[in-house]
Amino acid sequence: MHFGLFGINIGPCAVGLTSAEVARAAEAAGFESVWTGEHVVLPDPQVAPSPLPPQTPMLDPAVTLAVVATATTRLRLGTGIIILPQRNPLVLAKELASVDVISGGRLIFGLGIGYLKPEFDALGIPFEQKGARAMEYLAAILQVWTAEQPVHEGRFVTFHGIDAHPRPVQRPHPPIIIGGATPAAFRRAVAHANGWYGFSMDLAQTTECLGGLRSAAAEVARPAELGSLEISITPRGPVDRHTVQRFAELGVHRLIPFWPMPTAEALIERVQRFGGEVIAAG
């Protein structure tokens, strides 16, 4: 079991260079990775299904991970997740390749299709066909990252006669993780990703989603080069050695706790305690 820390760009981690301080503590405590969340804007006032009050500070994922990269040496740097249909794929490809280069090849590219229509509306992005848009954007990003002469002709993006360097350090490209708990998300993960990410899930929800992934694997082909599907979960509720074992028995490969603490000091104390009580204990 690997352990990540979610929210390295949120709340107290969004103040100054606190993200670097918390990341160093996580690395020292034995965490394998740190993860950003993303909402460019939030509805004001907060209305369901918006996850956070609109005043919640949240730094840009690529900026945060670049800062964390320079403060650490081993931690993997995950976007958990970037709302891909809201992004320009060529600009995002440049940003994430830059993070991979700065970090010496530690990026994990986690993406999703989004679910807050007010956010899409504010950005001028159609809410319809966001799944198809995201998958085409992913194909365009992989072209820019891997092709000798990048070219893409599609419904949502078209380019040719261009190039972009530096390429990511990781070859053929950084790992791709797709989030979401719908049958369509499961199919996208099976067909296009190295891993799947489930956010804020208990054991029962995780079990249900793993069943959904198995059903998706029977419906869509998985390219052999993707290997086995890696499962990452941000668990809901307390996480101790017993719950870690239960998630491991389900087949989860990485747990990414989220502890929304009021201060950086409280978060660092929680990270250190988890490292001693759970990670170090095996």
Specify the range with the lowest mean pLDDT, choosing from 34-38, 87-91, 215-219, 278-282. 278-282
The string of pLDDT tens digits covering residues 162-190 is: 999 999 999 999 999 999 999 999 999 99
Distances in Å between the Cα of 48 and the Cα atoms of 86, 117, 144 are 20, 11, 37
Average pLDDT over residues 64-70: 98
Tokens of 236: 């809901």
The string of pLDDT tens digits covering residues 225-237 is: 999 999 999 999 9
What DSSP string runs through 33-73? EEEE---SS--SS--TT--S-TT--B--HHHHHHHHHHH-S
Distances in Å between the Cα of 170 and the Cα atoms of 94, 166, 255, 259, 267 are 14, 11, 23, 30, 31
The string of pLDDT tens digits covering residues 115-150 is: 999 999 999 999 999 999 999 999 999 999 999 999
CA distance 144 to 89: 9
The string of pLDDT tens digits covering residues 262-274 is: 999 999 999 999 9
Q: Is the pTM of this model over 0.85?
A: yes
DSSP classification of residue 10 = B
Residue 278 has what pLDDT? 97
Residue 282, pLDDT > 90, answer no
Per the prediction, the chain carries an average pLDDT of 97
